[in-house]
A and B are shown apart, each in its own frame.
Chain A
Amino acid sequence: MAEEKKLKLSNTVLPSESMKVVAESMGIAQIQEETCQLLTDEVSYRIKEIAQDALKFMHMGKRQKLTTSDIDYALKLKNVEPLYGFHAQEFIPFRFASGGGRELYFYEEKEVDLSDIINTPLPRVPLDVCLKAHWLSIEGCQPAIPENPPPAPKEQQKAEATEPLKSAKPGQEEDGPLKGKGKEKKAPPLLEGAPLRLKPRSIHELSVEQQLYYKEITEACVGSCEAKRAEALQSIATDPGLYQMLPRFSTFISEGVRVNVVQNNLALLIYLMRMVKALMDNPTLYLEKYVHELIPAVMTCIVSRQLCLRPDVDNHWALRDFAARLVAQICKHFSTTTNNIQSRITKTFTKSWVDEKTPWTTRYGSIAGLAELGHDVIKTLILPRLQQEGERIRGVLDGPVLSNIDRIGADHVQSLLLKHCAPVLAKLRPPPDNQDAYRAEFGSLGPLLCSHVVKARAQAALQAQQVNRTTLTITQPRPTLTLSQAPQPGPRTPGLLKVPGSIALPVQTLVSARAAAPPQPSPPPTKFIVMSSSSASSTQQVLSLSTSAPGSGSTTTSPVTTTVPSVQPIVKLVSTATTAPPSTAPSGPGSVQKYIVVSLPPTGEGKGGPASHPSPAPPQSSAPSPLGASALCGGKPEAGESPPPVPGTPKANGSQPPGSGSPQPAP
């Protein structure tokens, strides 16, 4: 009998001030307190009564939301004249205002210029009701068509993976609103001779349509037509309901990597990695079950000794970079304290790097993989070995010419180290950069590092100034971020995200607070968390914005269209920033601020090449975008930045609920 339910029957009554206000508006100036009290009681009761009747109309109207018309009908029941003129479904023209210690609701009536109304083009006629049939179920199976919801939401896929017994009938565990005294006996359902439900085989049978889809997609992904591939990847990245094919995709990728590594087919490996990327981008997929198959494939593409037929010419470095970013993304998403993915991967990289006999290609991959895992990893694992590595590089570069390949490898490793370590060092070390000090600490790489760090600082300072000057033009960074990220894996984003981050301190705290939601397992110190969480949020942005961004990502369309949706928040960010930077940026003693500032240059430097990427964004924000692109673009044109597929938007629409397929009437 004792109820644990939160039945809350509050006996709320209107404040008697309201009565006074109403009386005043009626022209009754003085009204007694007692009268007010009586009126309040009465009015509250009547209002409740009407609301309860209105609920009835809502239920019978098969709606979840009470509308103004329900109130009208309830009034009619009571033989009261309905309130005419409040018939809009959504729009209720009461506005709230507070100020001067008073709160009030008022009826918003704008003055409208008649000529404006006359001159505006007529709105489209609303569409009439129509009937559309689709198969909700075919002999007990729900077909995966756009009209139906995605077959298994991510939570359900997860539940299936983790709790097979419970998940068979999702959504039925809850026992309705009944109180649960009688439910206690339900505990041992398994003992009552009920057939034990076994975990369903995870490989699902694919329907003919799904088989066709799978065939088309895989063919397009590894085929020669770039446009088709882009479309296919877009489909993988956005379509719901792919989970049944997930095991097959996973196998396709891992087998594909296995075969093509042996055959040194760089192009195909790149395609496969892009498939991995697309799968990871799909928000409806629960990838955890297949990570064990994907990680080895991706790792192979990072550290394999040879990935292409002509290592001296082909740009397999780009693939390694790309795959390294993928691994970092995997770590970020899937690493938990139980599976320890990150630490295991770190160990693997370290092991192959430390090994003396490791070839330069693998060495490059290991370092890239580690570097992508974040500043903290760089600090603890790479910096201590810089001296040693520098010696080795010098040995190759300055020593007798053994082989061209080694030279190239050593060269790449060197620039990679410089690229990644400089921002970290710039953050760790106080400003006066002394060549000798660097040499003492880092050996042969010291001087180069020093110059890079200096450059990084300079660029950051410059950037900060520019930020100060052009507060409003900088509204671009976010859209451009997504431009560069959409086709490229996210891990680079730590460097990129600092553009907004560097603007103001409050922004970063805001970002990190928001990013607390995604699983962030990394235990290391706080600084790293800030870093990685901000990058996590950046990947979120990629996901959310990627639908709109690709449209402008094709770089010819005006940037205005894409920035419009995101301008609003960014303007806000910047406006808060305008106050912050002048004090902090130049001196930069604050640790966070400093880290931000220093981190900028490498993004500019890392790109190396000219800003060939025709980004419409202002210079300071266009800098990061080619960085991602150039890595792959340089050597492998066809593997480079995938032109964001134009059909993306229609595709997304296609998977929308049936209603959205038809154009909405312009209200």
Chain B
Amino acid sequence: MAALAEEQTEVAVKLEPEGPPALLPPQAGDGAGEGGGGTTNNGPNGGGGNIAASSSAGGDGGTPKPTVAVSAVAPAGAAPVSAAAPEAGAPHDRQTLLAVLQFLRQSNLREAEEALRREARLLEEAVAGSGAPGEADGASAEAASTLLSRVTASAPGPAAPDPPGSGASGAAAVPVLATGPAAPGKVGSVAVEDQPDVSAVLSAYNQQGDPTMYEEYYSGLKHFIECSLDCHRAELSQLFYPLFVHMYLELVYNQHENEAKSFFEKFHGDQECYYQDDLRVLSSLTKKEHMKGNETMLDFRTSKFVLRISRDSYQLLKRHLQEKQNNQIWNIVQEHLYIDIFDGMPRSKQQIDAMVGSLAGEAKREANKSKVFFGLLKEPEIEVPLDDEDEEGENEEGKPKKKKPKKDSIGSKSKKQDPNAPPQNRIPLPELKDSDKLDKIMNMKETTKRVRLGPDCLPSICFYTFLNAYQGLTAVDVTDDSSLIAGGFADSTVRVWSVTPKKLRSVKQAADLSLIDKESDDVLERIMDEKTASELKILYGHSGPVYGASFSPDRNYLLSSSEDGTVRLWSLQTFTCLVGYKGHNYPVWDTQFSPYGYYFVSGGHDRVARLWATDHYQPLRIFAGHLADVNCTRFHPNSNYVATGSADRTVRLWDVLNGNCVRIFTGHKGPIHSLTFSPNGRFLATGATDGRVLLWDIGHGLMVGELKGHTDTVCSLRFSRDGEILASGSMDNTVRLWDAVKAFEDLETDDFTTATGHINLPENSQELLLGTYMTKSTPVVHLHFTRRNLVLAAGAYSPQ
């Protein structure tokens, strides 16, 4: 696991320079390039997050191993490792500490293991001690200890000197008996190459039951559940799917093909329809040999299916299974399921239906407990130049408005530090350049002319249709000021259009540039080559369909991600490729610039999202944890968090600071294809292939709404600039507008709901639908609100 290695490295690197970790501004480029993460991380707690994330990561077998991590390990952190495990032959290949521990344990090198463990803990403590004073959020000590506990929890050896209580860090009330044996296998499987370890993973299936009894077991349980009280039935019904899957896999693994087939035939119809896609995969798995290397299978196996069940229902189930002496099922429940027990009323069928559907069940409750700073950062002080500008403007125009300064002062007042906002320097952000300030001023001016939207004042929609796009349009982005549109195409090209009269010009050749008088006022104009002016520029460089495109906020750069596994950074001054960021190795489905520039995030088929900085060729963070492709990635408006939507039907929110997964949202019934944050940062809207849009409260970690209406994949989502309207575009060729204000008002976020995560969704989302606009035959690939709240939509006309 690359993430793990890197963070580990970072911890080690931190040790060497004594003193508080300096929050180096990104531009400083302090040469700590090998570590990558070292530049922006201000605490060692990052390690914990990533270890945790990676340990829950599924069959990420294909993740490439960044060479840089190896080099970083060598000088500092890996010294004891390589010393302790020379037998490993090539210790650099075992990049993760955990993997090494695992290996040591397996090889019965107890001493070495213990030494390493002690070493690791010492490291943590040292870093915790040194890092705490410099910590911005002051949580580092705690974080460090949790890190430790996680490390130990996920690799408990027989002689592990566990700190008391850390082994069962999370779910105390849960039958964690199986955690011990299961976890190492898991880690091992991800850390090392696929083939040998799959069998290790699968060995848990080795228990031999009478294959002919499986159907009986299952139908017995089914009968029991269907006969139980209504209030329990809905909850216990959640068991059907995971049990079905695991029993089937067990049968297949033990090579009872015919039994497996008949078992599948008999019971697959009982499963909820949103599991259909997984069942399809499952149905093709009929041989033990197939199980090797099948990713979906690994997901089932390596990640415990999480069920949320009330204590009463659980007791009922337990009693039943014990009475019946049904060990087969009881084993599966213990080994492959994670039952999150809560006290209180069992949930209703509806409540359950709203939350389930993901590949690995619901999110654990504690997964969504950590605090998220969802507030917006304070806008930098640029009032002074603004006022100047205004005065100038007034002088020119003949002082039309007196209100403006007032408004601005109000605006600056309201920009007082939001209690929910992260500390301003939690993530080092690039300094504003003069041009950025000018742009901000422009933005503010436009803001004053913004249309106030509402149910009675719907925005106009301007649709940009890509004609003759026979090769296939796969990605679109529009600059924040709506002056440029970029399209990524399946023929590997990226095309940039100017939609304003201002044509696209590139900078002159170096020879010509040297002739320019650098002192002149219009030097920026002079460097542009008039001969190159055109409305369209085509960027060639990728070697596969371009699935993601994103403009930098300052409009100087464009990012594109492609099937060829690279993310490319293009200059919009020269219209050439500047950097190709390699790391994903598999198709990169999406990429996006941070709202403050400099950072960007990408996500792809390798199931991880990566955080990059434009001046580092290695990722700064790897967000691992999804069990399937990361389809879409979005930055939180305050740039401190990244949301990812995945084909495992979950949405995760990651902390950029430490790489932790801070929210897991389940409830979608299909792969997620679009994400957007509300402008105030409080809410998240996600759209999936099932045509539904779900709304989430980030602070509370709850689903707060469901918008039904689309009949096909929701490809694009966007809030209006003030957050009153949510626009959604879909493959069903429609743009729909939803009343976001109404959707988010009077949310029942009482303590109980927050504590239990039981949600009651409003019944009817139709009242929230403000408008539906059909295109002729154009899937809506992208939506954008201009600064004045005009909707720009884009898509390629596809004749049927």
Contact of B763 among A76, A134, A135, A186 (CB under 8 A): A186
Candidates B461, B464, B468; contact of A662 at CB < 8 Å: B468
Q: Smallest Cβ distance from B269 to chain A, in angstroms?
A: 6
What's the least CB distance linking B355 to chain A, in Å? 12
Select which of A52, A185, A665 is within 8 A of B281 by beta carbon: A52
In the assembled complex, how far is the CB of residue A663 from the closest CB belonging to chain B, in whole angstroms? 10
Complex Cα–Cα for A181 and B272 (A):
11
With known contacts A62-B731, A658-B465, A9–B776 Cβ distance under 8 A: no
Q: Give the bracket for the number of chain B residues in contact with chain A.
A: 35 or more
Interface contact A132-B464, CB-CB below 8 Å? yes
When the two chains form their complex, are residues B766 and A172 in contact, meaning their CB atoms are under 8 A apart? Answer: yes
Q: A62-B473, A77-B587, A140-B771 are in contact. List 17 more A-B contacts (CB 8 A).
A: A42-B289, A45-B285, A45-B290, A52-B280, A76-B563, A129-B466, A131-B499, A132-B467, A134-B462, A135-B461, A136-B735, A138-B460, A169-B772, A172-B708, A176-B691, A194-B764, A659-B465
Of the stretches B426-434, B436-444, B709-717, the one at the interface is B709-717
Query: Cα distance A139–B455 when bound, in Å?
Result: 11
Asked if A583 lies at the interface with its beta carbon under 8 angstroms from chain B, I say no
- Chain A residue at minimal CB-CB distance from B287: A41
Distance of A156 Cα from B73 Cα, bound (Å): 67
User: Is the pair A177, B691 in contact by a Cβ cutoff of 8 Å?
Assistant: yes
A321-336 vs B, CB cutoff 8 Å, 1 = contact: the mask equals 0000000000000000
CA distance in complex: A62, B466 (Å): 14
- Residues on A with beta carbons closer than 8 Å to the beta carbon of B799: 657, 659-660
Q: Find the B residue at minimum CB distance from A661.
A: B467
Tell whether, in the assembled complex, residue A2 and residue B763 are in contact, meaning their CB atoms are under 8 Å apart: no
Asked if B775 CB lies within 8 Å of chain A CBs, one says yes
**A73 to B629 Cα, complex, angstroms:** 15
Whether B636 sits at the interface, judged by CB under 8 Å, is: no
A136 touches B773 (CB 8 A): yes
**Which of A11, A76, A126, A132 is close to B286, meaning CB atoms less than 8 Å apart?**
A11
Closest to B277 in A: A52
Taking the closest CB of chain B, its distance from the CB of A355, in whole angstroms, is 53
Q: Which residues of A contact B772 (CB under 8 A)?
A: 169-172
Interface size on A, residues (CB 8 A): 69
1/0 contact string of A24-43 vs chain B (CB within 8 Å): 00000000000000000110
Decide if A356 is an interface residue (CB 8 Å cutoff). no
Chain A's closest residue to B774 (CB) is A149
| A542 nearest CB across to chain B (Å) | 25
* B226 at the binding interface (Cβ < 8 Å): yes
Which of B240, B290, B713 has the most CB atoms of chain A within a 10 A radius of its CB?
Answer: B290
Instruction: Kindly state whether residue B276 has any CB partner on chain A within 8 Å.
Output: yes
Q: 8 A-B Cβ contacts within 8 A?
A: A60-B545, A62-B731, A73-B587, A137-B459, A182-B353, A186-B764, A194-B767, A665-B468
Q: Point out the residues of chain B lying under 8 angstroms from A63, CB to CB.
A: 472, 798
Q: Kindly state the separation between the CA atoms of A5 and B270 in the bound complex, as whole angstroms.
A: 10
User: Among the listed A45, A182, A658, which residue makes an inter-chain contact with B349, where contact means beta carbons less than 8 Å apart?
Assistant: A182
Least CB distance, B279 to chain A, in whole angstroms:
6
- Residues of A at the B interface (CB closer than 8 Å) are 1-3, 5, 7, 9, 11, 41-42, 44-45, 48-49, 52, 56-57, 59-64, 69, 73, 76-77, 89, 126-140, 142, 147-149, 169-172, 174-179, 181-182, 185-186, 189, 192, 194, 657-660, 662, 665
Least CB distance from A311 to B in Å reads: 51
Are B468's CB and A127's CB within 8 A? yes
Query: Which residue on chain A has the smallest CB distance to residue B590?
Result: A60
Chain B neighbourhood of A186, CB < 8 A: 763-764
Cβ of B744 under 8 Å from chain A: no
Given A182-B353, A657-B797, A657-B799, are A9 and B268 neighbors across the interface (CB < 8 Å)? yes
How would residues 599 to 627 of chain B score, 1 for a CB under 8 Å from any chain A CB and 0 otherwise? Answer: 00000010000000000000000000000
User: B468 to chain A: which residues have CB within 8 Å?
Assistant: 126-130, 659, 662, 665
State in angstroms the CA–CA spacing of A131 and B487 once bound together: 10
Q: Which residue of B lies closest to A5 (CB)?
A: B273
Chain A residues lying within 8 Å of B208, measured Cβ to Cβ, are none
Q: Which of B24-32, B366-374, B489-497 contacts A (4 or more CB under 8 A)?
A: B489-497
Q: What total count of A-B pairs have CB within 8 Å?
A: 227
Q: Is B681 an interface residue (CB 8 A)?
A: no
Point out the residues of chain B lying under 8 angstroms from A172, CB to CB. Answer: 708-709, 766, 769, 772
Say whether, besides A56-B647, A133-B462, A136-B775, A45 and B474 are in contact (CB < 8 Å): no
Query: In this assembly, does B67 line the interface, its C-beta being within 8 Å of a C-beta of chain A?
Result: no
Top 4 A-B pairs ranked by shortest CB distance? Answer: A140-B458, A136-B463, A136-B461, A137-B461
Choice from B473, B589, B708, B796 contacting A176 with Cβ under 8 Å: B708
CB proximity of B34 to chain A, nearest CB, Å = 29
In the assembly, what is the distance between CA of A635 and CA of B633, in Å?
Answer: 74
- CB < 8 Å: which of B349, B463, B472 contacts A135? B463
In the assembled complex, which residues on chain B have CB atoms less than 8 Å from the CB atom of A61?
Answer: 472, 474, 490, 545, 547
Which residues from A are CB-within-8-Å of B191? none
B766 proximity list for chain A (CB < 8 A): 169, 172
In the assembled complex, how far is the CB of residue A142 from the closest CB belonging to chain B, in whole angstroms?
5
Q: In the docked arrangement, what's the CA distance between A89 and B470, Å?
A: 9
| A2-B270 contact, Cβ under 8 Å, with A89-B470, A139-B460, A662-B467 | yes
B690 in the interface, Cβ–Cβ < 8 Å?
yes
Q: Mark B476-490, 1 if CB is under 8 A from A, else 0.
A: 000000000101011
Contact of B457 with A by CB under 8 A: yes
Contact indicator per residue, chain B 240-260, by CB within 8 Å of chain A (1) or not (0): 100000000000000000000
**Contact at A134–B465, with CB atoms within 8 Å?**
yes
CB <8 Å contact, A182 and B350: yes
Complex partner residue of B781 from A62, A73, A128, A132, CB under 8 angstroms:
A62
Is B207 interfacial (CB-CB < 8 Å)?
no
- A153 to B, closest residue via Cβ: B774
Quote the shortest CB–CB distance from B376 to chain A (angstroms): 29
Chain B residues contacting A174 (CB-CB under 8 Å) are: 711
Asked whether, in the complex, the Cβ of B458 is within 8 Å of the Cβ of A139, the reply is yes
Q: Which A residues are CB-close (under 8 A) to B545? A: 57, 60-61, 73
Which single member of B268, B474, B776 contacts A657 (CB below 8 Å)?
B776
Chain B neighbourhood of A138, CB < 8 A: 460
Q: How far is the CA of A194 from the CA of B692 in the complex (A)?
A: 23
User: Which residues on B sit within 8 Å (CB–CB) of A185?
Assistant: 763
Residues on B with beta carbons closer than 8 Å to the beta carbon of A170? 772
Most chain A CB within a 10 A radius of its CB, from B461, B710, B793: B461
Q: Name B605's contact: one of A45, A77, A176 (CB within 8 Å).
A: A77
Complex CA–CA separation, A5 to B469 (angstroms): 37
Residue of A nearest to B472 (CB): A61
Provided the pairs A3-B273, A60-B631 are in contact, do residues A45 and B690 lie with their beta carbons within 8 angstroms? no
| Cβ of B271 under 8 Å from chain A | yes
- If A7-B276, A61-B474, A172-B772 touch, does A147 touch B462 (CB 8 Å cutoff)? no
Report the Cα distance A140→B771, complex, angstroms: 7
Known: A136-B775, A176-B708, A659-B797. A49 touches B294 (CB 8 A): yes
| Interface flag for B283 (CB, 8 Å) | yes
Q: Which residues of B are found within 8 Å of A132, using beta-carbon distances?
A: 464-465, 467
Docked CA distance A586–B489 (Å): 67
Cα distance A179–B487 when bound, in Å? 37
B284 & A48 in contact (Cβ 8 Å cutoff): yes
- Which residues on the A side are within 8 Å of B796 (C-beta)? 62
CA distance A7 to B273 in the complex (A): 7
CB pair B271–A3 under 8 Å, yes or no, is yes
Residue of A nearest to B795 (CB): A62
In the complex, chain A residues whose CB is within 8 Å of the CB of B457: 139-140
In the bound complex, residues from chain B placing their C-beta under 8 Å from that of A135 are 460-463
Name the B residues within 8 Å of A7 (CB-CB): 268-269, 271, 273, 276, 279
A48→B294 CA distance, assembly (Å): 12
How far is the CB of A544 from the nearest CB of chain B, in Å?
Answer: 18
Q: How far is the CA of A69 from the CA of B629 in the complex (A)?
A: 19
- A665 to B469 Cα, complex, angstroms: 12
Bound state CA distance, A139 and B671, in angstroms?
32
Q: Are B690 and A177 in contact (CB under 8 A)?
A: yes
B723 within 8 A of A: no
Chain A nearest CB from B293 CB (Å) reads 9
